[in-house]
Structure 1
Amino acid sequence: MELLYFKTFAQVVKSGNYTRAAYALDYAQSSVTTHIQKLEEIYGGIRLLERHGKSMELTPAGELLYSYVEKMLSLYEESHQRLSTQEVKTVRVGSIETLAIYELPNILAEFKKKYPDVMVQIIPDSEEIIIEKIYNKDLDFGLIIDKPFKSERINSLSLKKQAMQVVVPPDHAFTKEDFITIDDFKNETIILTEEGCTYRAYLLKQLERNHIDFTLSMELSSIETIKKAIQNKWGVGFLPAFSIKGHEEVVGMPFQDENFQFYSQLLYRKSSSHGSVYQYLISLFQKA
C-alpha cells in the first residue's frame, strides 16, 4: 500500500496541487488527500506538504522523503522492465521469403536497439506451415501475404495492402503497356515461386479460370534467383512490388486485377500477445 502512497505523493509534487494530481492519476481528490495523510501517519505524523496559495510545496521532511521516493519508484519501474525482458529470451518469427528479405531487416534493427539481449530467430517457410507452427506454439509471430486471415485463436494485424507486378526484362513488349491483366499472360512463359506461395496460387487459379494458355518453365524458391532468370529472358515473373525496388536489371509492370485483395499480415496467438517485448515488436510493425 505504501507504494501507492508514494506514487500519489510524487504526482502531487509534480502537479503542484491535489486537484491536478487527482486528474493525472484519475482519482477522486479526496483519495489523493487520504493517501498523503496516510503517508504522513506512516512517518509519525510529520508534515510532508504545506499549502502556499493554490500550490502544495514540500516541507524539509518532504524534500528528504521525495529524494528517496524518486529512487524507489525508479527502481520499481526498472524491476518491471528487467523482469519482463528476462521472461522472453528468444522471439521466433516465421516469414515467407519476400517479407523476410525486404520488410523484416529495418524492423528488427529497431527492435534490437531496445532489446539487444533478446535473440530473434527468423524461420522462412510457407504460409500453411507458419500458421500451423503458431497454433502449436512453435512460433511467436508469423508474416504472410494473403487475404485477411481470421481465426478465434490467432490475431491478424494487417500491415499494408500489397500490389503485385509482372516482372520482365527491360526490352520485353509488356514494358510498352501501362499495366498488365490476366489476359496478357496468354502464350507467355512464366517463372514462379514454389508451391505453397499464396500469390502464386492466386495467379494460377486466375489463369485456369480464364482459360489462358501459358507455359510454366521454372519454379524457384529464391526471389533473387527468379529475378536472375527473368534477366536472362527465361520467362516473366509475378512478384510483390516491394521486391522489385532498386533492381534496374528487370522491370516491374503493375498487375491490374480488382479481385486481388492481398495484405501483408502479422500473426500471433491471442494468448501470447502480452508483455513488453512482444508489445514493442508489434508496435514496430504497426508503424512500418
Structure 2
Amino acid sequence: MAFILDIPISTNSTVTAFIKDEPVCILATKENWLTAKTDVTIYDFKDVPIILTQKDCCYRKRFENSLIDASIVPKVILETSSIQVIKETALSDLGVCLLPKFTVQKELDNHSIERISYSTNYNISAQLIYHKDKWISPHLLGFISTVQNCY
C-alpha cells in the first residue's frame, strides 16, 4: 500500500482506494509585486527569485518545463525537500514558491502568504493505492476507511 502525492497513477495491477485532486499554487508575500498583478503570465517569472522543492518533484518539473518552453532560465535561490523551509523562505519575502495548496492553507487563511494569479496545470492528486492481488488485512481496511472519511 502506498500513499502518494503525484500525478494520478492508474495501472491494471493497482487499486486506487482514495484519490483527491490537490491544486498547486505559486505563492509569495503580499509585498511581492506579482501578488498585486491580476494577469500573471509565465513571462512574469523572468528574473524572479524562485524557491523550489527537490529536482525529482513532479510539479516542480512541470513548472520548470513551462519556463523552459518560454525560454526563461529560472532564478532558483533555494532547493530543498522541506516544505516548512520553503514556506519560511517565502514568508521572509525572499522569493516566490510553488507548493500544493493544502500545505499552505493556514498561511493563506491568515493572509501571511498570497496566491499569485497564475493558472497552473500542475495539479497533483493525493492517492492511496495498493496492488490488486495482495491481501488486505482488517487493519489496512480500517486505515483505508479512515483516509476516505478524513477527506
TM bucket by the smaller chain? 0.7 to 0.9
The match for 1:280 is 142
- 1:191-202 alignment to 2 at 5 Å? 191-202=51-62
- Is residue 265 of structure 1 aligned with residue 102 of structure 2? no
Mapped to 2, the partners of 1:158 and 1:178 lie a distance apart of 35
Q: Flag structure 2 segments of 5+ consecutive residues without an equivalent.
A: none
- Post-superposition shift, 1:252? 2.9
Select the structure with the greater relative contact order (CA < 8 A; seq sep ≥ 6): 2
Q: Aligned residue for 2:87? A: 227
- 1:252 alignment counterpart: 115
Look up the SS of the partner of 1:228 in the other structure: helix
Q: Which residue identity lines up with residue 54 of structure 2 in the other structure? A: E
- The one of 69, 80, 85 equivalent to 1:209 is 69
Distance 2:51 2:124 in 1: 20
Is the Cα contact below 8 Å between 2:64 and 2:74 reproduced in 1?
Answer: no
Structure 1 contact 166–180 (Cα < 8 Å) conserved? no
Instruction: Compute the TM-score of the two structures, normalised by the length of structure 1.
Output: 0.46
Q: Secondary structure at the match of 2:11?
A: coil
Taking a change above 3 Å as real, the CA distance of residues 155 and 182 of structure 1, as seen in their structure-2 partners, is farther
Contact 2:29 2:113 in 1 (8 A): yes
| Aligned-partner SS, 1:284 | helix
Q: CA deviation at 1:179?
A: 6.3
| C-alpha separation in 1, matches of 2:41 and 2:17 | 29
| Structure richer in helix, relative to its length | 1
Distance in 1, matches of 2:22 and 2:41, equals 16
Inter-partner Cα distance in structure 2 for 1:148 and 1:256: 19
Name the structure where strand makes up a greater proportion of residues: 2
Q: Percent identity, aligned pairs only?
A: 26
Mark the runs of 5 or more structure 1 residues left unpaired by the alignment: 1-140
The structure-2 alpha-carbon separation of the partners of 1:279 and 1:273, relative to structure 1 and needing over 3 Å to count, comes to farther
C-alpha contact 2:63 2:122 (8 A) present in aligned 1: no
SS at match of 2:93: coil
Instruction: Report the equivalent of 1:176.
Output: 36
The Cα shift of 1:225 comes to 0.8
Q: RMSD in angstroms over aligned alpha carbons?
A: 2.1
Q: Is the 8 A contact 2:24 2:124 kept in 1?
A: no
Q: Residue 167 and residue 261 in structure 1: after superposition, are their counterparts in 2 closer, same or farther (change >3 A)?
A: closer
Alpha-carbon offset, residue 203 of structure 1: 1.0
